[in-house]
Amino acid sequence: MSRTSSVRIRGRSESRTLGRSPSGALHHARVALIGFDAPVTHLPRRPQTASNGTVASSAALRVSPCSTTHADGRAAPLGATVCPGGVNFSVFSRAASGVELLLFDRENDARASRVIRLDASIHRTYHYWHVFVPGVGSGQIYGYRVHGPWEPASGMRFDATKVLLDPYARAVVVPERYRRDAAGTRGDDAAAAMKSVVADVSAYDWEGDAPLQRASSRTIVYEMHVRGFTRHPSSGVVERKRGTYAGVIEKIPYLQALGVTAVELLPVFQFDVQDAPPGRVNYWGYAPIAFFAPHHGYSSGREPLSAIDEFRDLVKALHRAGLEVILDVVFNHTAEGDEHGPTLCFRGLDNATYYILEADRSRYADYSGTGNTLNANHPVVRRMIVDSLRYWVQEMHVDGFRFDLASILSRDPSGDVIPNPPVLWDIESDPALAGTKLIAEAWDAAGLYQVGRFVGDSWKEWNGRFRDDVRSFLRGEDAYVERFADHVIGSPLLYGHKQREPEASVNFVTCHDGFTLNDLVTYDRKHNEANGEDNRDGTDDNRSWNCGVEGPTDDPAIERLRTRQAKNFLATTLLSVGMPMLLMGDEVRRTQRGNNNAYCLDDETSWFDWTLLSKHADLHRFVTLLNARRALRGDEHEDHLALSQLLRQAGITWHGVRLHEPDRRPSSHSLAFTARAPRDGAAFHVIVNAYWEPLSFELPPAASGAGRRWRRWIDTFLESPRDIVDWEQAPAVDGPSYRVEPRSVVVLFTTLE
């Protein structure tokens, strides 16, 4: 997560009352509105009749907004719904005194082509403002102006000079002259405001596609950035498709060959690219402003609705290749920032509903580190979050979600942590989301840390302790051997008490936030000067080791050590019990030149440099063969084993340099263990030497049976292609012991009868 800048709101708007039509017919007038002239439509109420001309029952009217074409519209569903003959618009605002629906011809227009003033006596049901507009359809650009008091001390920040996005918008367009600061300063911002687009999402041909629902035990996650994956000229993707959903489609064969089974996409909800320090852009996308709309900047098409189908084309293509799609979703904050930030959507619709406020209601609680915190356990916000997730599963066919700073969803409207957060149970128990992968980043930016104790029965967790402890052990720190041993067998100290599946732990050593794998073995400290914050941003707790020289070097011995350390980290991640996750480009030593917080750098610092594929072909091969073996996991019935059951089946025995004598002293930097792996049809003997000298380890007898011998699958000290081999070609290991060179991982195996 990044810290971003905001702009102080220096003005407020006057509250305006809404007029009513003097007659029962549609009435058009030219009036002065928010500083400019626009045609204003007053929509009167009409009798509620069914299609046959009779009065429809209330039950019939509740079925769908399309069951009526009356000008008053319907409260449900929220958003803009295409119906025969027009569109039903509905938006929530409890404290608004008036709402205007603005229709635009183009995203760059400074004036709406039509303004529809909603009459509270006929266009408001409960706190929902709604209207049916005949004659418009999919592709219509629109926005809202919402009137009400400007009383920050009471938590109300209505500003009718601002064009607001629809929280349920299925598509968003960004004008060429978009300015974030225009939404945070005095005056009308129509020309510079993002706008919503009506979308009929029912017309797409999925050709029989559906979410894959692959077993977690067969899942290997690849965290990647849509733009960064193909934006580099070396990607081979044509210019107009680089950095887009369509560009990713062209590189799917690479993902298949690598052997990963799921892509975890950094945020693809529409976000504000200008939510960044001056002169920078928000590259990562953790600045959401529309939870139902795919980011338009990732579309190769320029039409208002092009992002929707291009994203669905990507999902369909990935599914055909056997790859699941997991979205990194941000329901903990929005791009509107703190009290000095812009009014883009939620702040101007109902500030006190959508955000957690401090006791001083003019200030925002900040548990996200970005200036505000979404009020996730408010009933209206809970509904929006669940509706968003349902939409992405049912209409966009995604397979799972990784929840950024998920522990924020455990906080109530006062910011206190509650034991059974309604929104988390709503998500987990929703039948439309059954079988969907739910992954929590189980902490927040205010110190709440729930790894190993996140709420729920089926949530998986980014195991931050795995990352930190594995880094510390493999770089040679004291007092980490016990923790390392626990993590390689599924972190039972964290998850064993819950009778959870072995894959409750998502194992990783690198992700978008922090050093890449190359930089983890190349830099001792962060180098974030390019971010423009004097290297103050980003964590100082990297647990990295530069192997003797800070930054790039031509020393072949150091380069060999760095590659070996990279293999050690990858072997540990992919062989440990749990669901492994790899960071885009780690398989070819992608570097960010020591930057551990490149959220604002949309350049070669962050992009995948495809020339590295040949430069580091040995590491790429190593990862590919590791993935291929993990993908051969055994029978379906074993997927229902709890971690504790799996460990009992494995019959793990621990060793040190001597059999059955594990060295768990703080000064120990090595361990070995033997385990049966029914899923793999083999027994393994794993040796990890994080010490800086070679060690000789005694070997246990191989499995019983004529001719059973240990075979060497992996030895990270050896040069490619001997560092990892196909099982069928694995050489036999003779003798009672095996010499393990400094800072190396060795894996021996023997097949089970």
Give the residue numbers marked as catalytic: 404, 441
Number of CB atoms found within 10 A of residue 58's CB: 7
Query: What 3-state DSSP class applies to 271?
Result: strand
Distance CA 686, CA 619 (A): 20
Task: Cis check for the bond before 736: say yes or no (omega within 30 of 0).
Answer: no
CB 104 within 8 A of CB 112: yes
CA nearest to 130, candidates 166, 170, 172: 166
349 to 96, 118, 150, 163, 354: CA distances (angstroms): 7, 14, 12, 10, 9
* Residue 183 Cα to chain centre, angstroms: 26
- Tell me the β-bridge partners of 688: 671, 745
Residue in the structure block whose two tokens are 């007092």: 479
Distance CA 3, CA 151 (A): 27
Sheet strand arrangement including 36-42: 27-33, 36-42, 114-118, 98-104, 141-147, 195-197, 171-173
CA nearest to 51, candidates 41, 38, 39, 66: 66
The continuous run of DSSP H or E covering 150 comes out as strand 150-151
H-type helices in 210-290, by residue range?
A: 226-230, 245-250, 252-258
Which residues are CB-neighbours of 629 under 8 A, at least 6 positions away?
A: 680, 713, 727
Distance CA 229, CA 247 (A): 8
381 to 288, 385, 514, 582: CA distances (angstroms): 14, 6, 31, 32
Residue 77 amino acid letter: P
Distance CA 441, CA 409 (A): 11
The continuous run of DSSP H or E covering 355 comes out as none
CB 301 within 8 A of CB 310: yes
Q: Is 413 exposed, middle or buried (0-12, 13-18, 19+ CB in 10 A)?
A: middle
**Radius of gyration of the chain from Cα atoms?**
28
Distance CA 282, CA 273 (A): 5
CB 235 within 8 A of CB 246: no
CA nearest to 464, candidates 543, 408, 518: 543
Residue 593 amino acid letter: R
